[in-house]
Structure 1
């Protein structure tokens, strides 16, 4: 905010149009307008703004990413300032306790908030193309994993209606093996009619070499009794299963493609070496941790800021003699999920992490609370490694605990 702006703009975005409020520097008058969400309309508006005011021009909007942000980032004379939607909502509520809301008014409020409190907001500074690509890849891969889970649950529910034995024969249902089996034998009658050599060849082709497991499956298939013979149940359910299998197969293939692209992009980023060797990180969580920290080390001035931003640090509220602590409701959910999921993976793979988790459980904390507490502690460690560009070393950290006479050392049997 050290540079002088020639104009200030507030934008309330929507799918089909965007309400605009403009104020020239040194003026108090507001000009309201509306532009369609079309590439040509946005380009015409931005260029007209530049011809009129020059630059730079400050733009306040409720997004840090999205179509309108991508469209405006093309113009170097626009400086974007993301405003948290919750902040704008509270600001609106301060002047409109009735709860009334209007898009043009929100654009004016966003403008007013940025003009009156410029020190509260930071300009949007995009990271490198590779880092932004990795961030988008890991987020979209996680969405595909969610689709896999939903499709698998729907598939299991349908099989329970007429073909529950298939669920007994396969423990892992989100696999190509399970899809291929149901594609070929979508009913109990069809699989019972299959010859034993055919079934054995099928399992061998899918890298299932355990003679004991194959024999158990074959014996169960030969001795299975149909749940129902009603064609009104079997026919529709069979079609539904085949439809779900086709969708699940496509999602599984997409996840494999995403894994390959994530591995390719992550290796091009120099900081990836800091995360790929972390305990429990692996090829899925290491890129997510790298994307969580990013490459702008000045973005977080301390580990405490990152803990709060990620939603790992609890919130304390005090009023009079009352005080209560709860977890953060407003935070990037995927970011918090990344730290929590990884912290859970470190419990059996890091000596001190497993001991710390057990200490939290012994105090009466639930599993999820204990894992979040462990994630809180891990963030402080990783932040230090990230800032100094030093890979994490368990031995070095245990020695640091010894210098502080940490109670964990006694639990680990390393106090001597």
Structure 2
């Protein structure tokens, strides 16, 4: 162990810290690299308390750095720590920390060391197993935050849209038959103005036709819809139910309208940030990568320096399967420990790419013919795509389908036989 500690010693660092973060209070354990002396302490979860603690430490560092192991890669504490230049973050996966504790202290006794001390042990003695946090460049970080946040609000819009559909099925089901997209502007505008059938039927026929024409419907469609409105029959007559449901639908409509406005603002910010990114031309060249998917792929790939090789990218994004081996048994499983948003990005794009990419469609069909299920085939296609993406980003060149197909034929790839002439 002593030899390993000497190998792990880094003169750039004055101290190592295991940082057990919490919502209200943090517990830390520190070891000085020169003397091996340890200190323990607590501090409140406030920027002021963290600033005082690090200020006191920096006065003792003599210009050297401090390494901090923490069970967090993103979050409030990490963002606060990153503003100090002397701090190097070593993220530790919570599962790894838990298994490390279980291996050293299987009893689970109250006298066992605190999590902060366990993280310190992991950092001091097994730092070769950890990787310091490396931030992407500013355009990539900005874009990744924007596309993740946009996806969150799109999911919220979908959730509230489902709630709206559920309420309308009870007292105003005709709306669901009149319009295909319950979250579309015509539906929301209609419900904001006439939240129940009785109110809608009191409107003049000319008013109804004008309303629908304002939402890009033909005069014939508007006239036919006005007839359907006048012929509609109320689904319920219970005044108590109607009053409460109308109130909730009005609230949901207002929420959905605000979400639509916010998502458009995200779209504008994403488009502007994407255009300024140095690798935007590569992302735009990819088949099936439109105004939504291209920025997501750009955020996933960054400037091409995030991954050392294609296999690392495939594992880090959850596209590559994981092999579990025990004795003579080997099982290939779906990789669950990964950033879900990144895995979802490549998975969804693989499906989009088949619409315009000949070899992608042929490869998917080949896998399906061989017995692969839909999502397994998409992951295999995404796996293949990632090798191509890694090379494009590494070389700084746009994707060229004709070159790739020519390469397949030159290598006599089995896939070339599936390609349409």
TM-score band by shorter chain is over 0.9
Give a deviation string over 1:317-351, Cα, whole Å, max 9, x none: 12123221111111101110111111111121211
| Separation (CA, whole Å) in 2 of partners of 1:292 and 1:230 | 52
| Separation (CA, whole Å) in 1 of partners of 2:220 and 2:418 | 42
Corresponding residue to 1:169 among 178, 181, 189: 178
Paired position in structure 2 for 1:45? 53
SS of structure 2 residue aligned to 1:282: coil
1:2-401 to structure 2, matched below 5 A, reads 3-54=11-62, 55-99=64-108, 105-206=114-215, 208-295=216-303, 297=305, 299-401=306-408
Kindly indicate whether the alpha-carbon contact (under 8 Å) linking 1:61 and 1:80 is maintained by their aligned counterparts in 2.
yes
Q: How far did residue 112 of structure 1 move?
A: 1.0
Q: Relative to structure 2, which stretch is displaced further, 247-256 or 54-63? A: 54-63
Kindly indicate whether the alpha-carbon contact (under 8 Å) linking 2:146 and 2:270 is maintained by their aligned counterparts in 1.
yes
Kindly indicate whether the alpha-carbon contact (under 8 Å) linking 1:12 and 1:19 is maintained by their aligned counterparts in 2.
yes
SS of structure 2 residue aligned to 1:21: strand
| Separation (CA, whole Å) in 1 of partners of 2:47 and 2:113 | 21
Give a deviation string over 1:167-207, Cα, whole Å, max 9, x none: 1111011222211011111111111222221111111222x
Q: How many residues align?
A: 412
Q: How far did residue 99 of structure 1 move?
A: 4.9
Structure 1 alignment gaps of length 5 or more: none
Q: Over aligned residue pairs, what C-alpha RMSD do you find?
A: 1.8
- Cα 1:108–1:308 change in 2 (3 A) is same
Q: Relative to structure 2, which stretch is displaced further, 94-103 or 147-156? A: 94-103
| Separation (CA, whole Å) in 1 of partners of 2:113 and 2:99 | 17
Q: TM-score, normalised by structure 2?
A: 0.94
| Separation (CA, whole Å) in 2 of partners of 1:11 and 1:339 | 34
Q: How far did residue 101 of structure 1 move?
A: 8.2
| Separation (CA, whole Å) in 2 of partners of 1:70 and 1:80 | 10
| Separation (CA, whole Å) in 1 of partners of 2:264 and 2:245 | 28
SS of structure 2 residue aligned to 1:60: strand
Kindly indicate whether the alpha-carbon contact (under 8 Å) linking 2:366 and 2:418 is maintained by their aligned counterparts in 1.
no
Q: How far did residue 407 of structure 1 move?
A: 2.1
- Cα 1:275–1:296 change in 2 (3 A) is closer
Paired position in structure 1 for 2:5? none
| Separation (CA, whole Å) in 2 of partners of 1:402 and 1:132 | 39
